[in-house]
Structure 1
């Protein structure tokens, strides 16, 4: 696997802030952006609730719960609020010339993040009482952080911009009144840019690393099942295989991006003779696939960090992550449905941390509603405030046995997710 390819891998996953659903910002660089409905309940129960066509993005078997053609389309905005504070930068290179090292307090910055828009569309078409098929497009992964050009620790800051788009085709089969099964193929397009400043270790080149808009395609798959205990109680389980894929920029620099596999269990229970339902999800994300980013065939004129070999490794050593979500839905009347949810989302980072990829355990506080325009169409709105923990970060670059430069800082990454969606049955 080329190091350039790994760079994209890890970069992709490296900075999270969720950008929004695709999965709307979660640990690592996972987006939860499939639907505004999911944002409004912290995606609790999303692999089985099936209140609109977006459920096929979480569990293809849930398409069997529809008896009419269903269309959902919308978008999510993800605003990441990233702070890097109390940073100290040290450059030991002057010691090679008999001079004292450079030690500087770095000004606090709170404008590293930004706002991203993630659109989505889902279509489910029942063929008969047994079979249904569907197509969709949305984003599963993405992240962007950008430090100012004059940031003194530019070899640790710089620009990280990664995004992926998922184009899916799926089918479902209803075995009987209780069991349904589904499977689908995913065509994934990814694009990544990663730039790091030159601290003087690598000659006179302006960048220590400069991979610009590397892109590529890969194919994954997903499978799932739904078990209906009765009309008010059901469970869903889904597994998504996410592949490694290779991306290449115009200079021939390659990046291999290993995306994490995802497994999810969901439950939905409407309380009999009431207007209230409770739902929940447990999701596993295989972030341990990201041990390091490898860059290969680096352009020596712009990426001297690769040296004569054109190769560079950046360790990340991420750990697997978990989401635990619970939510409630209140069916107020024929016009309005109200929902809320809470999620606890564990960090993908373990002992190694990064200011360019701020990550931590996170809590989601979510609320939303559906307004039914008529019996066939509705509009959904969802809002989430995502709170990250403060994390003490230590990063360094070594040349031989010498720690050439290092940075210590405290990072915190919060986010605001807003979703709007239109759904219609035919």
Structure 2
């Protein structure tokens, strides 16, 4: 693995901003465009196509022959963080300086692609391979923004290669297991806000001369790693029209390996030292049900759990002989204080005719952080999903699925955060995050 420059921000601001209106923290729910149409309700108990192994490998036994599926979900977030930054210091007088720090559209649009293959070996065994992503986010604000000192860029990208094998025990029970090979890369940075240039004109020359210019990188980190985990699933066919599914995905421990740089680490944006940032991608589980209520109509549900409590802090380590300023071996970047979260979804499918299938679903995705610990890093809140989709049987072997989802944050997320500016001033942010997101997906599935 090639090493890259790793950077760590003073605080990883807006670390979960896109997830505030998508999935808790930086988890991605968008495993397929097929499931998107029903708000991912019943995913561990439904086998529409080869994408079923993304949630439950045991469901591969419900596919006959060979199947290929490829698709993508286009994510269009509209996330705003509105608030003020205040500077308090005896140098400026008894009253703090208040500045507007509104941040609009901090999360860019993104595509979450996927590709899956499944092949039945015999009446008992089926194997498959999935390529998708379960975690990711990106947020950006200008280097000189009023709140850039709390963080101006955060990015996490993961790609998962997931080979699976499933065994049909009998007509009622199936089991499946898989290997999770995860490539992850990430970057976090913070910079000097533009207001520092105006501040220097109000300070004595000796003090002003020590302050950097607006836009200068303070701390930053960027790196990558490859790690692995596992997944397991089972299904229980209670009757020809009722089915339950359970699946569990283990945690994956990444160590983003590279080097730290920035003014507060090395005194320069152009000098770096070796460093790494361990990040644990949490385990997650799902219980699903599927009920065929008539020849044309079915209902399905899912309860999802994610072990976010393992993600309590970000600590950078510097194992090389050359250390950051002060000779430190490690640096506590951020206390996150995540909590385990739950997601509840209910959906339905209706077979309109031989060629058209309609899907719909709603879901509640609970936050991974409580009010006490919410910061600019995690402006998280509960999210409500409203989904709809259409499946078109283009031919005997080809199916096209189209889906759209609207997600609304349930209430605004109040944020209060502060830091010390070189013992010159206290910097405080006070505001709230809000937003919504549209998801549009398309899936092409072919029976070979």
TM-score by length of 1: 0.89
Contact (CA 8 Å) 2:87, 2:428: kept in 1 or not? yes
Matched, 1:89 2:72: no
The residue number in structure 2 matching 1:328 is: 348
Distance 1:16 1:176, change over 3 A: farther
Distance in 2 of aligned mates of 1:11 and 1:203: 22
The residue number in structure 1 matching 2:114 is: 120
Distance 1:5 1:359, change over 3 A: farther
Contact (CA 8 Å) 1:46, 1:55: kept in 2 or not? yes
Distance in 2 of aligned mates of 1:14 and 1:236: 33
- Per-residue CA deviation, residues 109-138 of structure 1 (Å, 9 max, x unaligned), is 322111011110011111001011111100
Aligned residue pair count: 410
Matched, 1:170 2:164: yes
- Per-residue CA deviation, residues 11-46 of structure 1 (Å, 9 max, x unaligned), is 699415249xxxx93011111121101111110001
- Per-residue CA deviation, residues 263-282 of structure 1 (Å, 9 max, x unaligned), is 1000001113x411000000
Distance 1:25 1:98, change over 3 A: closer
Matched, 1:72 2:69: yes
Deviation at 1:54, TM superposition (A): 0.4
The residue number in structure 2 matching 1:207 is: 217
Distance 1:11 1:100, change over 3 A: closer
Deviation at 1:208, TM superposition (A): 2.5
SS in 2 for 1:111: coil
Distance in 1 of aligned mates of 2:444 and 2:12: 33
Distance 1:298 1:384, change over 3 A: farther
Matches within 5 A, 1:129-168: 129-168=123-162
Find the partner of 1:233 among 220, 232, 242. Answer: 242
SS in 1 for 2:148: coil
Distance in 1 of aligned mates of 2:8 and 2:247: 29
Which stretch shifts more, 239-248 or 351-360?
A: 351-360
Distance in 2 of aligned mates of 1:7 and 1:232: 52
The residue number in structure 2 matching 1:247 is: 256
Contact (CA 8 Å) 1:79, 1:416: kept in 2 or not? yes
Distance in 2 of aligned mates of 1:403 and 1:348: 32
Distance 1:69 1:293, change over 3 A: same
Contact (CA 8 Å) 1:122, 1:135: kept in 2 or not? yes
SS in 1 for 2:45: coil
Distance in 2 of aligned mates of 1:349 and 1:276: 37
* Unmatched 5+ stretches in structure 1: none
TM-score by length of 2: 0.85
Find the partner of 1:404 among 413, 417, 426. Answer: 426
- Per-residue CA deviation, residues 150-197 of structure 1 (Å, 9 max, x unaligned), is 311212241111111111111000000000000000100111111112
Distance 1:6 1:261, change over 3 A: farther
Find the partner of 1:353 among 351, 368, 374. Answer: 374
RMSD over aligned CA atoms reads 2.9
Matched, 1:261 2:283: yes
- Per-residue CA deviation, residues 328-349 of structure 1 (Å, 9 max, x unaligned), is 1001111100000001000011
Which stretch shifts more, 190-199 or 414-423?
A: 190-199
